[in-house]
Every structure is written in structure tokens, then in C-alpha cells.
Chain A
Amino acid sequence: MKRASSRALGWLGQGALGVVALVWLFPYLWMGLTSLKPLAELISSPTALWPEQPTFAAYREVFRSLPLLRYFVNTSVMALGIAALQILLALPAGYALAKLRFRGQRWAFGLIVATLLVPAQVRFVPVFSLLAGVGLVNTLSGLILPFGVSALGTFLVRQALLSVPDAQIEAARIDGASELYIVYRLLAPLLKPTLISFFLFSFVSHWNDYFWPLVLTTDEHARTLPLAIALLREQGTGVRWHVVMAGNVILSLPALAVFAAAQRHLLRAVTVRGFGG
């Protein structure tokens, strides 16, 4: 009796898992299927599951109507630039905060932690007028510089360095290593797991970012992919959902690919960070 009921519970659990999988995977499936439909089918039977005559016409239209390569390069340069700059600057700063004693240390650390409280959504009004004043609107520099320092990254590097024994650094000094050598060649490799997690998380969130490029770009010169794909719909007249979904596939595939390849690192980052800006 007891065994039968627990087996039923097990089947119920499996069934529930199936429903959950459906709720989270069906939207992707629907995106892919819609992108393969010709316009005529989309109009005649929009909710039919499978396209009767699958076609890549929608993808061709996206490529024809948008300079996708440029947006792709813009987005990659921006996201890579931000993530690389953040790590490059976080290493020496985190080292100074974790390992060196100096006047003003508490003050510097306090300032860095305090800026964690100021999200981009609060500072965008003045930063926009600031960058407009020096002609950095519509440039990649304007997209990268405001995020060049990550308080969180600096904090994580500092925490990780606290557990590195001083003796290791002192030994390198005795061997005549410069401080720069110690930071980038000796300590950076030791922090590899932290740095990889942080890099991937920073890269993906800036690759996906919509807010800042929306605020800071007005033409296609520095426009990024999420912005361009969102515009695809705003320009769209009537039912051109197959084109919008084709664009959406192009936008979400890189993020999903990074996710598939590096899920473990992203999970690690999330448990220390949380979501959002």
C-alpha cells in the first residue's frame, strides 16, 4: 500500500517536471518555429504549431534590413571591453585593499562598497548629460567607460585575495618580482575560478544590456544588438512576427550558447550576486 502510493507520487513528480519543462522551453520552441514560417502562413493560421513550408526568408530579411555584423561587433567590443577593463582594474585595487597597509584604506574600501548602492538606473540622468557635454554620446567609449569599474568585482577580488598567504607574496618580492608582476602574473592565476565566473557574468549581462545603449545611442553608429532587435518590432508594420522572432533567435543564441558551455560558472556567480543591473 505504502509502496504503491510512493510510486504514484514518483510518477506525479515526473509529470510535474514535464509540465515545468514545457512552461520554460515552449517559448523558445515557439520562437524558433515562428521564425521559420512564411508570412502567408503566419497570417492564415498564426497558431499552427509546425510551419508547413519552412523557410529562412525571415532571417534573410533581418540580414537585409539591419547591418547585423556592425551591431554584433559593437556589442562584442562593448561587452568584452567592459568585462576586461573591470578585471584589469579590480586586480590591483583588490590587491591593495586585501594585502597592503596604508593610510586611507578604510576610506577607499568604504567608498567602493558604497557605490554598490548606486545602480545605473539612478545615475543615468547626470551621466548622460556629463557624456553629452564631452561628446561621448553615440560612441563605444561612452558605452564602456561608465562601467569600467565594478565595485562588485573589486570586492570579490579582495575577498579572494584575503585567503592567499602573505608568505607567497613576500617570497616573490625577495625574488625581485615587481608589484605589477605579483598582481597580474602570480595572483591572477590563483584567482582563476573567481575571475572566470565574474568575467562571464559581466560579459553576459552587458551583452544583454538594453538600458544603457538605449539611453546613450541615437543612431546606428554605436547601436548594440538588443537595441536593434527591439527596434525591429517598433518599425514593424502589422504582423511581421516571423521577422521579429528571427531577430530574437539571433539575439538569444549567443547568450544561450555561453550558458550551455559555462553553466557552472554562471551559477557560481549568481549565488554571490543576484540579478539585474
Chain B
Amino acid sequence: MKPSRASDPYWMLLPTLLLLLVFFVFPLALLVKHSFFSWDLLTPARFVGVENYRSLLRSGELWQTFRTTLSMSSAVVFGSMMAGLGLALLLDRPGRWAAFVRSAVFSAYVVSWVSVGLLFLWLLDADSGVLAGVFRFFAHGRAPRWLSDPALAPWAVAAVTIWKITGYALVLFLAGLQDVPQSILEAAELDGASPAQRLASITWPLLRPTTLFVATTSLISSFQLFDVVRVMTQGGPVRSTTVFVYAIYEQLFLDLRVGRASAEAVAFFGILLLLTGAQFWLFRSREGA
């Protein structure tokens, strides 16, 4: 449509574009600029070229953070998808009880990360937590120190994250199951296909687009994990749960190294863009096929 006055669309978009420029575009430029400086927020910034990037690479910090983030994210994505798919198959039935259980699982997704973090900090407490109690009862031994053992802590935090976000995968898989035609399933049943066969050769292939969508969106989101780490482990023990956002936060607010924090944020942003690009590419090539 033609605008009534030529200026209409411009002033309608002005506040939106202005805020985006101030809080998105300009900060990105500033971020890149800061990454070439050494600055502690107090004394004047000093230009250091690519030194921040070089030291992040040379110290192995970037690689270490990437590995931690990737392994925790992979566990989260895999775990929440398996749980979400399993629960969707289990809960895709009529009745109030199934509806109630669906709501229960999804509610964790709506509660804050702080709530969930504190809750599981208490449940997983090595001395007086419920899980330690269950462990003592059945195994008659000391419970593993889930959160203070560097070999276990990342998986404990990942498990808590899975508990929180499985509702997301569940909702999307339930929506996906609605699109699986009942008639094909019934025909297969008449032909004597077992439930396992029907799942493997009808439901699962038809859920592929949903699976792909859940996997990529969950991966991109879980790369940005922070709250639960900050509340439960503060990146420890011995940096075993220092994921990207936590590492950047630490550089900025605990070490006051704006330049290094910026360089790490630039690298992090690059990785997120690559993941998003991969997501687009996957969906495009799938549609083309």
C-alpha cells in the first residue's frame, strides 16, 4: 500500500531502528574495537593490536572454553531431545492425567534458571541433599561429590539443564506427532508391523524436520548457558564448567579486562554465527532435496 504521507513509514520505524542502532549495531562495532585494546575501565585504554586474541589462543583458554561449552551443550541437546521424544511418545494420549504430566514437565521451562539452580544445588548437596540420602540408602556409601568433582560437575549441570528444557523439546515433538498421519500407522499395524517397527520406519522419519529444528535451536541456545552455571558452580571446580558466557563475564567483572572479554565475545559471536549458518544450510538443503 502507498503510505498516506511519504514520511509515515519512516517515523513509524524510527524508534525501533534507533534503539537497534544504539543497543545492537553500535555495541557490536564497539565490541570489535575494544577487542584490540587493553582496558581495565579505570585507566585509559591502550591499543594492543591482536594481542588479546593471540593470548587467548596461546594460553589455550579459548580452546578450553570451547571444548567445555561444546561437550556440555552436546550432552544437553542429546539428553533433552531423547527425553523430549520419549516423553512425547508416552504423553501423546488423551486424558487429564497425561495432560497434567505434560504441564508438569513444561512448567520447569517456565520457572527461572535461578530457581532451578538453587533447587538442584540443594537436592544435589553432597552431605544433606536428597540424592545423597538415596545413594546412602541403596549403596551404603558416600555419595559422589557431583558438584565439587571436576570430572562430574559438567555432567551434573548438564543434567539439571536437561531437566529444565526437556519441556521445550516435548512441546515441539508433540506438535510434530500431530502431523504423522494416523492412517499410515493403522495400515502398518494391519500389515503386522510391531510398535517398534512403526516407530523406526514411520514416526521417526516423519519427525525428522522437527528433530532437526529442536536440535539446532537447542544447540544455539545451550551455547549461551550462563545462569545455571553462575548459580551452581561459578565455573568451577577448576574451571570444569567455565562455558563461554561465564568466561566472558569473568574476564569483564572479576578481572576487569575489557579487551580480553571483548575478544572472547567476538570469537563467541563468530561461533554462534557459524552454528546459525549451519542451521540455515541444513534446512535449505533439506527443502531442496
Contacts and interface: CB of A to CB of B under 8 A. Distances in A.
Interface of A: 13-14, 16-17, 20-21, 23-25, 27-28, 30-31, 34, 42, 46-47, 89-90, 92-93, 95-97, 99-102, 105, 108, 111-112, 115, 117-119, 121-123, 125-130, 132, 145-146, 148-149, 151, 154, 166, 169-170, 173, 179, 183, 204, 207-211, 214-215, 226-227, 229-230, 233, 239, 241, 244-245, 247-248, 251-252, 255-256, 258-259, 263, 266-267, 270-271, 274-277
Contact of A233 (B2, B23, B41, B118): B118
A173 B4 contact: yes
Nearest to A273: B217
B245 A121 contact: yes
B224 to A, nearest CB: 5
Contact of A271 (B22, B87, B175, B245): B175
B9 interface: yes
Contacts of A244: 118, 122
B201 interface: no
Instruction: List the 10 closest A-B pairs by CB distance, nearest first.
Output: A46-B128, A208-B112, A47-B133, A276-B221, A92-B12, A126-B30, A126-B27, A96-B9, A93-B16, A274-B217
A115 B97 CA distance: 42
B273 A117 contact: yes
Nearest to B224: A121
A275 B19 CA distance: 23
A275 B262 CA distance: 25
Given A112-B17, A129-B30, 15 more contacts: A20-B105, A23-B163, A31-B122, A47-B128, A47-B133, A100-B3, A112-B16, A121-B244, A126-B26, A169-B1, A226-B115, A229-B118, A244-B122, A270-B171, A275-B221
Q: B-side binding surface: helix, strand, loop or mixed?
A: helix
Interface in B213-265: 217-218, 221-222, 224, 226-227, 230-231, 244-245, 248-249, 252-253, 258, 261-262, 265
Contact of B122 (A151, A241, A258, A276): A241
A125 B28 contact: no
A259 B104 CA distance: 10
Contacts of B23: 123, 127, 145-146, 148-149
User: Most A CB atoms within 10 A — which of B13, B103, B107?
Assistant: B13
Nearest to B245: A121
Contact of A215 (B105, B115, B168, B249): B249
Contacts, number: 259
Contacts of A105: 9
B168 A275 contact: yes
A204 B109 CA distance: 11
Q: What interface size band does chain B fall in?
A: 35 or more
Nearest to B108: A24
A228 B128 CA distance: 24
26 contacts: A14-B97, A20-B105, A24-B101, A47-B129, A93-B12, A96-B3, A100-B8, A105-B9, A112-B20, A121-B226, A121-B248, A129-B30, A130-B26, A179-B4, A179-B8, A230-B117, A241-B125, A252-B115, A255-B110, A259-B107, A259-B111, A263-B103, A263-B106, A271-B172, A274-B217, A277-B224
Interface string B147-177: 0000000000000000101001001100100
